[in-house]
């Protein structure tokens, strides 16, 4: 066999072997076997020098053509094997669009937030806007300007968390009354002031050391006790249900004169007596009264020209009564079994 015939055999063998390669690793072996340093085609090139000089140019040309041809075929095969490999991997990890979806887990509003929003909606109907005042309050706003001077025994009504000598966590939302009055040039006011209150007191099933209140304040030229009672009655009907009765009892708050407590007939027994109303037939709604002249004056309103009413109600206690929750601690316990019920 002369060298041309030998080259033709190597070429034919290489082409046949290339057909057999099924993956990249086999292709690399093939390249090594034919085009590598000791590959069969490379050895043919090296053998050129041993040929008679007359044959060298023609054989050299031939062997180089074979080498070029195989190199091109190698590059093409490498490309298509890589493509096939990617397609295989994609197929293995493809999303199965026929699988049923997983339901998304969604939370919902906390019972306190739901109750607050009900209260906002009710008072919006009655023409009250929402006004917010700070949780960290000055002692003067929480007490002095509300007619509760230092050493006044009424301070005992609100056990206080102090921040420093002058600042505290507000014990009620009433300081917002002064803030809103001072912010407005004397003009009629109808606001509710919602917010968290803090008291340094024993935690029980009825009392937390943090809880929400919603304060109400209406100031005008001729605001009277009847307006207050009418507003409270409207609230009782819209919050607890139609047909509710209310009653007022005389009370004492330093910032209102006269002061009252407002109750509604028990939503469960209608007044006959049951465990929810502790057999009194009545549920407490709010502390309230006519804004004290000193407080009007501290807010920049002349008490000879202006009058007002104010009330302060809890948020957790009314929702406890409405939904039959027996322990206020459940509101802040973060137990999902409780929270999911509302």
Report the interface residues with ligand FA5, using CB under 6 A: 172, 174, 199, 201, 207-208, 211, 213, 215, 253, 256, 284, 287-289, 310-314, 316-317, 328
Q: Report, in Å, the least distance between residue 106 CB and ligand FA5.
A: 29
Residues 57, 317: Cα–Cα separation, whole Å? 106
Task: Point out the residue whose Cβ comes nearest to ligand FA5.
Answer: 314
The residue whose two tokens read 């009370």 is 251
Burial 54-93 (b: 16+ CB within 10 A, else e): eeeeebeebbeebbeebeeebeebeeebeeeeeeeeeeee
d(CA 36, CA 241): 92
- Cβ of residue 114: shortest distance to ligand FA5, in angstroms? 17
Smaller CB separation from ligand FA5, 207 or 245: 207
End-to-end Cα distance, the chain: 95
Q: How far is the CB of 302 from ligand FA5 (least distance, A)?
A: 20
Rounded CA separation 246/165 (Å): 41
Report the nearest approach of ligand FA5 to the CB of residue 266 (Å): 16
Least distance CB 150 / ligand FA5 (angstroms) = 18
Nearer to ligand FA5, 44 or 147 (CB): 147
Name the minimum Å distance from CB 268 to ligand FA5.
18
Q: Which is nearer to ligand FA5, 215 or 265 (CB)?
A: 215
Q: Which residues contact 301 (CB under 8 A, 6 or more apart)?
A: 181, 186, 219, 308
129: three-class secondary structure by DSSP: strand
**Nearer Cβ to ligand FA5, position 223 or 288?**
288
Of the two residues 213 and 298, which places its CB atom closer to ligand FA5 in the complex? 213
Alpha helices in 184-247 (DSSP H): 225-240
Sign of the C-alpha dihedral computed for residues 327, 119, 154 and 171 taken in this order = positive
Q: Which is nearer to ligand FA5, 120 or 252 (CB)?
A: 252
Return d(Cα 158, Cα 71) in angstroms, integer: 92
């Amino acid at each position: 066999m002369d060298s041309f015939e030998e080259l033709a055999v190597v070429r034919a063998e290489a082409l046949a072997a290339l057909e057999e390669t099924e993956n990249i690793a086999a292709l690399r072996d093939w390249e090594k076997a034919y085009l590598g340093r000791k590959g069969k085609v490379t050895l043919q090139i090296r053998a050129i020098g041993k040929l008679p000089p007359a044959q060298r140019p023609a054989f050299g040309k031939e062997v180089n053509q074979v080498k070029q041809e195989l190199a091109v075929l190698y590059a093409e095969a490498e490309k298509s094997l890589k493509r096939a490999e990617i397609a295989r991997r994609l197929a293995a990890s493809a999303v199965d669009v026929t699988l049923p979806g997983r339901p998304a887990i969604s939370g919902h509003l906390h019972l306190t937030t739901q109750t607050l929003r009900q209260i906002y909606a009710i008072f919006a109907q009655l023409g009250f806007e929402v006004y917010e005042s700070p949780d960290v309050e000055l002692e003067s706003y929480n007490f002095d300007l509300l007619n509760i001077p230092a050493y006044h025994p009424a301070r005992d009504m609100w056990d206080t968390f102090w921040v420093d000598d002058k600042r505290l966590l507000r014990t009620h939302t009433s300081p917002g009354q002064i803030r809103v009055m001072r912010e407005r040039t004397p003009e009629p006011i109808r606001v509710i002031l919602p917010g968290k209150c803090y008291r340094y007191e024993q935690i029980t099933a009825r009392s937390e050391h943090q809880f929400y209140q919603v304060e109400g304040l209406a100031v005008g030229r001729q605001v009277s006790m009847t307006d207050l009672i009418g507003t409270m009655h409207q609230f009782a009907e819209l919050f607890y249900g139609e047909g509710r009765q209310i009653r007022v009892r005389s009370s004492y708050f330093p910032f209102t004169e006269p002061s009252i407590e407002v109750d509604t007939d028990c939503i469960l027994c209608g007044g006959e007596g049951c465990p929810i109303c502790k057999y009194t037939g009545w549920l407490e709604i709010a502390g309230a009264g006519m804004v004290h002249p000193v407080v009007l004056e501290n807010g920049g309103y002349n008490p000879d020209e202006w009058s007002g009413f104010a009330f302060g109600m809890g948020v957790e206690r009314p929702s406890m009564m409405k939904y039959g929750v027996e322990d206020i601690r459940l509101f802040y316990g973060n137990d999902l079994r409780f929270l999911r019920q509302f």
